[in-house]
Amino acid sequence: MSHAAHGDEFNVLKFQYEDMDQQNDSYIVGMWTFLVTEVMFFGMLFLTYSFYRANYQNDWFKAHGELSWQLGGINTANLLFSSFLMATAVRQAQLKNRMGVLMRLGGVLACAFVFLGIKYVEYSEKYAHHLFPGPGFAPEVSHFQGANLDHVQLFFGLYFAMTGLHGVHVLVGILVIGALGMMWFKGKKIVTEDYIPTELVGLYWHFVDIVWIFLYPLFYLMPNPSAGSGGGSH
């Protein structure tokens, strides 16, 4: 490749591709293949969730009252805004506007840290109330209005597993977006001359947003399965 041969010359189009369309398509199809595996990875957990939710509807409704739909809602809005910033960062990359990309990626990172901060507040509150599943699970029984505590523990098991796995993805997102931002900061041609690396990181970040789009209503906004109360999600 000429890049290696001449050092300062950089060809956006790699030698094995006929044109930019074909090259971009290859990258995007490759990224989607990875995202397909991610969809199935999370899909398994959503399937498990739906089994236990169907079995223990009333007890899970009582358990979900411990979650704050307000904090979850702030995080939903936060991720939506970060997704918007990420999409416009890709646009700035297409326009080769380095400062525009850097500012937006910085905004995405700030949103990601706010997300994890709110998650930390939620987790530590659950931990303090002995709601973390396992040997330490010893909640205040009166909070759950006669629900079977084994079922409540299952709820929190899946809550921590699914939001935890999502949180790990946010963490990985911070690392990847950080690395991408660093390359833009240094003006590396691999990102400044070709918008695709920014687009692929964007695809990952939007996927993380999509997972949360489902996690939020399923965990924080459950409807009441039993008659006799006018209350909605809380």
Partner 1 sequence: MAKSPLAAVHDDHGGHHIHANSMYVKTAGILAVFMVLTIAAAQIDIGHILTKPLGLSHQVGYWVNNVIAVGIAGVKTYIVVMYFMHVKWASSLGKLFALMGFFFIPVLFSVWTDFYFRQHEPVAHWYNNDYVESATPRIIGSTDGAKINPGEEGTQNRIPKSVW
Q: Does 113 bind partner 1 (CB under 8 A)?
A: no
* Min CB(164)–partner 1 separation in Å: 20
- The smaller minimum CB distance to partner 1, of residues 134 and 230, is found at 230
d(CA 23, CA 49): 39
Positions 11 through 30 that interact with partner 1 (CB under 8 A): 11-16, 18-21, 23-25, 28-29
CA angle 45, 207, 11 (to 5 degrees): 140
* Min CB(116)–partner 1 separation in Å: 20
- 198 token code pair: 């920014």
- The smaller minimum CB distance to partner 1, of residues 142 and 229, is found at 229
| DSSP run (H or E) holding 223 | none
Positions 192 through 211 that interact with partner 1 (CB under 8 A): 194-195, 199, 202-203, 206, 209-210
d(CA 169, CA 119): 13
d(CA 105, CA 89): 7
Q: Does 190 bind partner 1 (CB under 8 A)?
A: no
Q: Does 165 bind partner 1 (CB under 8 A)?
A: no
Positions 127 through 146 that interact with partner 1 (CB under 8 A): none
Is residue 131 within 8 A of residue 149, CB to CB? The reply is no
d(CA 51, CA 42): 15
Q: Does 68 bind partner 1 (CB under 8 A)?
A: no
Question: Among 47, 121, 141, 190, which residue sits at the site for partner 1 (rule: CB under 8 A)?
Answer: 47
Is residue 206 within 8 A of residue 88, CB to CB? The reply is no
* Min CB(110)–partner 1 separation in Å: 17
- The smaller minimum CB distance to partner 1, of residues 69 and 123, is found at 69
Query: Which residues have C-beta within 8 Å of that of residue 190, sequence separation ≥ 6?
Result: 10, 183, 197
Total residues contacting partner 1 by CB under 8 A comes to: 71
Question: Among 49, 69, 123, 132, which residue sits at the site for partner 1 (rule: CB under 8 A)?
Answer: 69
* Min CB(88)–partner 1 separation in Å: 5
Query: Which residues have C-beta within 8 Å of that of residue 75, sequence separation ≥ 6?
Result: 115, 118, 119, 212, 216
174 SS3 class: helix
- The smaller minimum CB distance to partner 1, of residues 101 and 222, is found at 222
- The smaller minimum CB distance to partner 1, of residues 2 and 124, is found at 2
Phi, psi (deg, nearest 5) at residue 117:
-65, -45
